[in-house]
A and B are shown apart, each in its own frame.
Chain A
Amino acid sequence: MNQSADTPPKLRIRGLSKAFGKNKVLRGLDLDVAAGESLVVIGGSGSGKSVLLKCILGLLPPDEGSIQIDGREIVGLGGAELEEARRRIGMLFQNAALFDSLPVWQNVAFVPLAQKRMSRKEARSLALERLADVGLDAEVADLAPAELSGGMRKRVALARAIAVHPEILFFDEPTTGLDPIMGDLIDRLIRSCVTHLGATSLTITHDMDSARRISDRIAMLYQGKIVWQGPMERIDEEKNAVVQQFVSGSTEGPIQVTL
C-alpha cells in the first residue's frame, strides 16, 4: 500500500484462516483497508465473504491469523475490550436483520435506548433525523419492520448502522435482493453516508455494478485468499484469469461452477 510506515492502516488482516470442519473457507487471507477509503471485496456466493466480516466483528472466532484496527490486535480480545473495538464498527447485514419485535424508530435508536443514554423523546427525534438521512419520512417510524419493503428495510438498517457514528462500516451485499433502481439508490446512500461520516468502509458483494459504484479499490476473494486487488478503474484491463471471468460473468475459466 502507499501508506507511510508510521500510520498503520485502519484495518489490517494477516494470515486469516477459518474452517468449518473440513470446509476450509478462509485460508490465510491478507488485506489492508486504509483510513477513509471504500474497499469492495468481490467473490462468488459461498466464497466466505460473510465469514470474513463475521471474523472481524468477533462473531466467529478465527482459527489463525491477526486482525488489527488502528494497529491494535483484536483477535483474542474478550469482554470490555472487544466491546470497545466493536463499538467503532457499524454493520449492515445482508437481510437487514432488523429487530422485528421493535418499531422502526426503536430499531434506529436501538443503542441510545438500550444504553439509556437519552430520553425516549430524544431518541425518537434522533431516529427521525437518521431516517431522513436515508430518505425515509416520519410515517415509517412507527411501522413494524415486517410492514416494510426490501428496499425500505435496507434503508432502515443503514440508518441504524450510522446512528452510532462508527469509524468503520461493513456492508454485506447491500444490493442483493433489490431491483436495479433501488440498488443504485442504496449504493448512492452508502457513498454519501460514508463520505458524510468520514468513515472507512468495507463492502462485500457479488454485484459488479454495485462494486463499481461504491468502491475506491476492489479486492477479489477466491479460494479463501485475496487473489487480486487494485483501483476500480484497473479491473477491466486486468489479465488475472479469475478476475476476468468474474467481471465478465462467464462460465468459462478457472472458477469452477458447481451446481
Chain B
Amino acid sequence: MVVPLLTPLGRAFLAFLETVGRLTLFTGSTLWHCVRGPWYFRMIGRQMIEIGYYSLPVVALTAIFTGMVLALQSYTGFARFSAESAIPNVVVVSITRELGPVLAGLMVAGRIGAAMAAEIGTMRVTEQIDALVTLSTNPFKYLVVPRVLAGVTMLPILVLIADIIGILGGYLVSTTQLGFNQQAYLQNTWDFMEFEDVFSGLVKASVFGFLIALMGCYHGYHSRGGAQGVGTATTNAVVSASILILSFNYLITGLFFG
C-alpha cells in the first residue's frame, strides 16, 4: 500500500537533491571564474549594453507609472486623515527601498533572463557549447561570467535611474493633479531621502542582477531536447529568477531594517 506512494516521492526528492547539487556546482564555478581571468572584455561590454542600455525603456516606464500610482493611491488613503503631506515621504521610501529594485528586477528578469536562457540553451542543443570547449574556450568564462558581471553592475545603475524616474512620477501627479506646491514637494522629498534607503535598494539590485543572470545561464546551460527544451529553460529561468528576487528581497530587507 505504502510503497507505490513512496516511490514517486522518493524519486522527486532525489531529483530535487540533484538539482540543488547541480545548481551549487554551477554557482561555485561561476564565482570561481568571475574572480579568475582571463576575462573576455568584449563580451562583458556587449552584455552591459544588452542589459543596461536596452532595458532602460522598460524600466523607465515601469518606474514612472509606479511613482504616479503611488502618489495617487496614497492621496486617496491619506486624505481621510488629513495626512496628505506624507505623500512625498511614502513615494520616496517605497520607491528607493522596495518598488524600484523589485519591479526593475522583475522586468529585467522577464527581458534578460529569458533571452539568456534562450540563447545559451540554443547554443547547448546545437552543440555550440561543445564547439566552444573544443576551441579551448571555457564556456563559463566566455558565456556565463560576462552575463553575471554585467548583471551585477548594470542592475544598480538601472535601479538608480528607476528611483529618479519613479520619484519624478510621484512629483508630476502630486503637483499637477493633487495641488501640491512644487517647491515644497521637492523639499520634502529631499528631506525624507535617506542614504540607507537608496543604498539598500542598490545592494538589492546588484543581488537581483546576479540572480537573473545566474538563472538565465544555468537553465540555458542545462537545457536539453531541442526547441522544446529551450522553451522550458526560458520559462524556468524567468520563474525561478522572479521567485528568488522576491525571497531575497525579503531577506535583504530583514538584514538592513530588521
Contact = CB atoms under 8 A, between A and B. Distances in A.
Interface in B93-145: 119, 122-123, 126-128, 130-137, 142
B136 A91 contact: no
Contact of A97 (B40, B131, B137): B131
A94 B125 CA distance: 12
B128 A111 contact: no
Contact of A164 (B122, B127, B135): B135
Interface string A94-138: 110111110000000011001100000000000000000000000
Given A114-B40, A114-B142, A86 B136 contact: yes
A61 to B, nearest CB: 13
A93 B142 contact: no
Contacts of B136: 83, 86-87, 111, 114-115
A40 interface: no
A54 interface: yes
A57 B135 contact: no
Nearest to A164: B135
Interface in B126-173: 126-128, 130-137, 142
B135 A111 contact: yes
A91 B134 contact: yes
B135 A59 contact: no
Contacts of A57: 130, 133-134
Interface residues of A, number: 24
A17 B106 CA distance: 46
B127 A95 contact: yes
A95 B126 contact: yes
A159 interface: no
A86 B133 contact: yes
A90 interface: yes
Q: Is the interface of A mostly helix, strand, loop or mixed?
A: loop
Nearest to A91: B134
Contacts of B119: 101
A172 to B, nearest CB: 9
Interface string A154-174: 000000100010000000000
A41 interface: no
B130 A114 contact: no
Given A95-B126, A97-B126, A114 B137 contact: yes
Contacts of B128: 97-100
A230 to B, nearest CB: 29
Contacts of A93: 127, 130-131
Contacts of A219: none
In this complex, which of B40, B123, B130, B131 has the most chain A Cβ atoms within 10 angstroms of its Cβ?
A: B131
Interface in A177-200: none
A33 interface: no
Contact of B134 (A89, A98, A114): A89
Contacts of B126: 95, 97
A58 B138 CA distance: 13
Interface string B163-205: 0000000000000000000000000000000000000000000
A110 to B, nearest CB: 5
B143 to A, nearest CB: 10
A88 B93 CA distance: 59
Interface in B21-64: 40
A33 B128 CA distance: 27
A91 to B, nearest CB: 5
A160 B131 CA distance: 10
A101 B137 CA distance: 16
B130 A54 contact: yes
Contacts of A111: 135-137
A111 B136 CA distance: 7
12 contacts: A87-B136, A90-B134, A91-B134, A93-B131, A95-B126, A95-B127, A97-B131, A98-B128, A111-B136, A114-B40, A114-B137, A160-B135
Interface of B: 40, 119, 122-123, 126-128, 130-137, 142
Given A58-B133, A91-B131, A99-B128, 5 more contacts: A57-B134, A59-B133, A59-B134, A110-B137, A111-B137
